[in-house]
Amino acid sequence: MILESTIKKVYEEQCSRLDKLDSGLKREIDIDLNELSTHTLIISGIRRCGKSTLLFQLLKRAIRGDTFYINFEVPRLYGFTLTDFERLDKVITQNAANILFFDEIQVVEGWELYIRQKLDEGFKVIITGSNASLLSKELGTKLTGRHITRELFPFSYTEYLKFRDIEKGRESVLGYMQEGGFPEYLKTGDEEVLNQLFNDLLIRDIVVRYNIRDVRNLQLLAQFLISNIGNRITAGKLKQSFSISAISTISSWFAHIEQSYLLSFLPMYKTSIRAQAVNPRKVYAIDTGLVNAISSNLQDDMGHKLENLVYLHLRKRYKQLYYFYDKVECDFIAFNKNNISVILQVCYELNQDNLDRELNGILRAMEYFNYNNAQIITLNQRDVIKKDGKIIEVMPVSDYLSQNRDY
């Protein structure tokens, strides 16, 4: 049991710290507190991407007297149980709050019952969920549909420009590709921040959560994957490489790694889900700064890192995202409500040696989908290529990542 006086003291101390905090960079994610009524807002995302800071920013936008904030992941609230919510309610009532900000509430067993109760009572509720103990998909399930989920990522390219106070262009892209977008690392420059993040994701979010015993192979697999961004992989081939007994084990590890937001696995476009499942997937990381810190690849593969930046940009905008392969490859195709919306190739630098390969891939995709406009994203080249009634725009990645319109 947690005493009411303890809850009140924790609340007051946390509020005092909030008043002294720098609110940080305003994020590009659009959240309107006025739209919340019968649904909880869940902010999900990888560790250390800024979820708690975003929560502080939302709190400061609200009328302070109407808000109540508490972080449950502090030692004095260890052992908080469902019955302790009765005492928490008394503290909330004393402060006459109607907008509740709960950080890491999922550490309390049965919390979803309390949240549903607060929604029924007319409160607005905003929570964050750490992947260490509860993922956003499970949050939504426990709330029986009464939720709105928003994903937060490390800084985008345009957020990086604002944070560094620099202009878009070739040099800032190279800087962003090297440093990535984790706020704490950008502030400190200490690579140990990224190493510790990688270890926390594997141990706290995967090993402990799913009771995995073969920790060493999981670590080696994750490092291999992050060292091979932009490449096609299959569970079957990796099973042999890592001497793991079953393909199902590799597949389940893939799912755990993806759910932790560390890596994503992009499927090949096929009309059936079964065909997608048996074909190789391309692997991408949540952040290229993390790739640079963790990768065992001694060669600096700038082309695949550039491709990873473009993937992250598309990943935020499209639910239906694939790569295309039909003897030749096109890096990305995206759909909006089942209608083709993007055909896109990424090439660090177009030259006479690779021009035919890049064009063949994108033209084959355009022909397959009967689509007449596409883009090739490069580090710093501009051009327009017209062929057989089809138009391909060659565009610098700094322009692509900093424009709001979809392609």
3-state secondary structure 28-64: CCCCCHHHCCCCEEEEEECCCCCHHHHHHHHHHHCCH
How many C-beta neighbours within 10 Å does residue 346 have? 24
Last residue of a domain, one of 152, 180, 204: 152
Strand partners, 340: 335
Determine, yes or no, domain membership for 78.
yes
Same domain assignment for residues 120 and 26: yes
- Report pLDDT for 208: 87
Determine, yes or no, domain membership for 169.
no
pTM greater than 0.85: yes
Query: How many domains is the chain partitioned into structurally?
Result: 3
- In this prediction, residues 248-274 reach a mean pLDDT of 94
Least confident of 61-70, 132-141, 227-236: 132-141
Residue 363 has pLDDT above 50, yes or no: yes
Would you state the structure tokens that stand for residue 42, as one six-digit string?
A: 């869940």
- Report pLDDT for 33: 78
Mean pLDDT rounded to a whole number for the chain: 91
Closest CA to 355 of 310, 391, 389, 394: 394
Percent of the chain at pLDDT > 90 equals 70
Same domain assignment for residues 275 and 353: no
14: domain CATH number is 3.40.50.300
Residue 404 has pLDDT above 70, yes or no: no
Same domain assignment for residues 102 and 242: no
Give just the sign of the alpha carbon dihedral 101, 105, 108, 110. positive
DSSP string, 259-323: HTTSEEEEPBP-SSHHHHHHS-EEEEES-HHHHHHH---SS--HHHHHHHHHHHHHHTT-SEEEE
Determine, yes or no, domain membership for 160.
no
Contact 207, 198 (CB under 8 A): no
Cα angle 130-154-74, degrees, rounded to a multiple of 5: 30
Determine, yes or no, domain membership for 229.
yes
Task: Give Cα 281 distance to the centre of its chain.
Answer: 18
Residue 325 has pLDDT above 60, yes or no: yes
Would you state the structure tokens that stand for residue 369, as one six-digit string?
A: 């989908």
Same domain assignment for residues 276 and 348: no
Same domain assignment for residues 195 and 295: yes
Would you state the structure tokens that stand for residue 223, as one six-digit string?
A: 């490092």
Same domain assignment for residues 8 and 113: yes
Residue 136 has pLDDT above 80, yes or no: no
Helix (H, G, I), strand (E, B) or coil at 324: strand
Task: Give Cα 229 distance to the centre of its chain.
Answer: 16
- Report pLDDT for 137: 57
Backbone angles phi, psi at 47, to 5 degrees: -55, 145
How many C-beta neighbours within 10 Å does residue 141 have? 12
Residue 160 has pLDDT above 60, yes or no: yes
Type of residue found at 16: S
CA atoms within 13 A on the CB side of 21: 17
Same domain assignment for residues 127 and 260: no
Place of tokens 């449950």: 72
What is the distance between the alpha carbons of residues 395 and 36, in angstroms, rounded to a whole number?
A: 39
Contact 184, 193 (CB under 8 A): yes
Determine, yes or no, domain membership for 60.
yes
What is the distance between the alpha carbons of residues 357 and 199, in angstroms, rounded to a whole number?
A: 39
Determine, yes or no, domain membership for 240.
yes
How many C-beta neighbours within 10 Å does residue 182 have? 25
Same domain assignment for residues 232 and 258: yes
What is the distance between the alpha carbons of residues 375 and 343, in angstroms, rounded to a whole number?
A: 7
- Report pLDDT for 138: 60
Determine, yes or no, domain membership for 37.
yes
Same domain assignment for residues 64 and 148: yes
- In this prediction, residues 302-322 reach a mean pLDDT of 96
Number of residues that make up the chain: 407
Strand partners, 70: 102
The residue with greater pLDDT, 134 or 77, is 77
Residue 132 has pLDDT above 70, yes or no: no
Last residue of a domain, one of 152, 179, 204: 152
Same domain assignment for residues 298 and 335: no
Same domain assignment for residues 15 and 109: yes
Determine, yes or no, domain membership for 83.
yes
Contact 23, 57 (CB under 8 A): yes
Strand partners, 320: 335
Q: How confident is the model at residue 220 (pLDDT cuts 50, 70, 90)?
A: very high
Residue 323 has pLDDT above 90, yes or no: yes
Place of tokens 């696995």: 265
- In this prediction, residues 53-57 reach a mean pLDDT of 86
**Residue span of the structural domain in which 216 resides:** 189-303
Residue 34 has pLDDT above 80, yes or no: no
Same domain assignment for residues 28 and 130: yes
Last residue of a domain, one of 97, 123, 152: 152
- In this prediction, residues 2-31 reach a mean pLDDT of 89
How many C-beta neighbours within 10 Å does residue 161 have? 21
pLDDT tens sequence across 364-378? 999 999 999 999 999
- Report pLDDT for 42: 85
- Report pLDDT for 6: 96
pLDDT tens sequence across 164-209? 999 999 999 999 999 999 999 999 999 999 999 999 999 988 998 8
Helix (H, G, I), strand (E, B) or coil at 256: helix
Helix (H) or strand (E) holding 163: helix 157-164
Strand-pair category, 232-233 with 281-285: antiparallel
Strand partners, 268: 323
Would you state the structure tokens that stand for residue 374, as one six-digit string?
A: 């596409």
Strand partners, 263: 285
pLDDT tens sequence across 79-116? 999 999 999 999 999 999 999 999 888 778 889 889 99
Q: How confident is the model at residue 63 (pLDDT cuts 50, 70, 90)?
A: low
- In this prediction, residues 267-271 reach a mean pLDDT of 95
- Report pLDDT for 407: 40
What is the distance between the alpha carbons of residues 103 and 283, in angstroms, rounded to a whole number?
A: 31
- Report pLDDT for 133: 46
